[in-house]
Amino acid sequence: MRQKALIRRGAVAAALLTVAATGPLMTGCASGGGAHADGRTRTPGLSQSPEPTPGRASADSVGSLLAVKIDNVSAARPQTGLDAADIVYAEQVEGGLSRLMAIYATQLPKAVGPVRSARESDLELLRQFDEPTLAFSGAQHKLLPVIDKAPLRPEPPERNADAYYRGTAKPAPHNLYVRPGRLLGSAPGAAALTTGFRFGAAPAGGSPETSRTVRFPAARFTFSWSASTHRWLVSTDGTPTVTTDGKRVAAATVVVQYVKLRESKYHDVLGNNTPFTQTVGSGTAKVLRDGRVFDADWKRPAATDGTRFTTNDGAPMNFATGQVWVVFAAA
């Protein structure tokens, strides 16, 4: 049975909420009037230790992959566990800032974060997976009941405080981390990645490419080809993207997927509308692999379907084996 959910969060409020955060155990999400707000809600029981406790997953989580909403403003970097993700989705949020959603199926790192709030767009995106587990910290208050009714397993800190901890290297709200091993226990494996992606030899054609930058109104991603590592080195807002243990984040395949962005019915605490990223439908894409760029088309007929990518002549657009980054750019 395939299932998913709907989610959202406020990012322009990131600077405001960082100032507002006053306690080490505050969980976070930008919210509309009366909502959970970053730095406003204490979550009892969060520890300061990243050590996981394997084997805690319940029976209904078997086969469930893990999706984690990850903070991506400058105060949140470097992130933890990003290099272990199978897929990293980059989406636009309030004020033109960026937020990441990392997908874990083949391995579970010891810790991932900083964890931040969810968005409505995430729900549609996650419906391609079978009962995914979603780690996030808050959401706009009108969205929270929608998340609860969605066909996924929501695991915010207030439901599973033992799976989260506050780090000491960054100020709240940019210091909340999740222990994946306390949510799943074990990685479900590649079979849980029901994305529609195909992996294999590169198709014919393409053009040489050494660097590609994707710009949001207030954020940008640059992918630079490294012939020595055969990977696309990721940079965010002009700075190399590295993890807290010093590993450079690098993708085997980068997809710049052109999608429709529209206003949602949700706003952040500053009144900024939350953009909805429409990932069901069809459109064009640029696919980077093996030091080349390929023109491609994408199609996702329904939310429960994965996304199929083809070359302009209709041939399957195979991805290179390894981490995939998908950046949703405005069509």
Per-residue pLDDT tens digits for 64-118: 999 999 999 999 999 999 999 999 999 999 999 999 999 999 999 999 999 999 9
Better pLDDT: 136 or 35: 136
Dist. CA 48–CA 193, nearest whole Å: 32
Q: Model confidence at 263, in pLDDT bands (50, 70, 90)? A: confident
What does the pLDDT read at residue 38?
33
User: Domains of the chain, with CATH numbers?
Assistant: 7-192 (3.50.90.10)
Predicted TM-score (pTM) of this structure? 0.83
Q: Tens of pLDDT along 295-326?
A: 999 999 999 999 999 999 999 999 999 999 99
Q: What is the mean pLDDT of the chain?
A: 84
Q: Model confidence at 269, in pLDDT bands (50, 70, 90)? A: low
Contacts of 199 (CB under 8 A, 6+ apart): 318, 319, 320, 321
**Nearest C-alpha neighbor of 10 from the set 92, 82, 88:** 92
What does the pLDDT read at residue 310?
98
What does the pLDDT read at residue 7?
36
What does the pLDDT read at residue 273?
74
Instruction: Give me the mean pLDDT over the 42-62 stretch.
Output: 41
Structure tokens at 42: 């204490």
Instruction: Give me the mean pLDDT over the 205-234 stretch.
Output: 97
Better pLDDT: 204 or 273: 204
Helical ranges in 22-174 per DSSP H: 120-126, 144-149
Q: Dihedral, CA atoms, 163, 5, 92, 200, nearest 10 degrees?
A: 90
What does the pLDDT read at residue 15?
35
Instruction: Give me the mean pLDDT over the 170-192 stretch.
Output: 96
Helix (H, G, I), strand (E, B) or coil at 135: strand
- Percent of the chain past pLDDT 90, that is, above it, reads 74
Q: Model confidence at 268, in pLDDT bands (50, 70, 90)? A: low
Dist. CA 112–CA 130, nearest whole Å: 21
**Nearest C-alpha neighbor of 178 from the set 162, 159, 154:** 162
Q: How many CA atoms lie within 13 A of 93 on its CB side?
A: 33
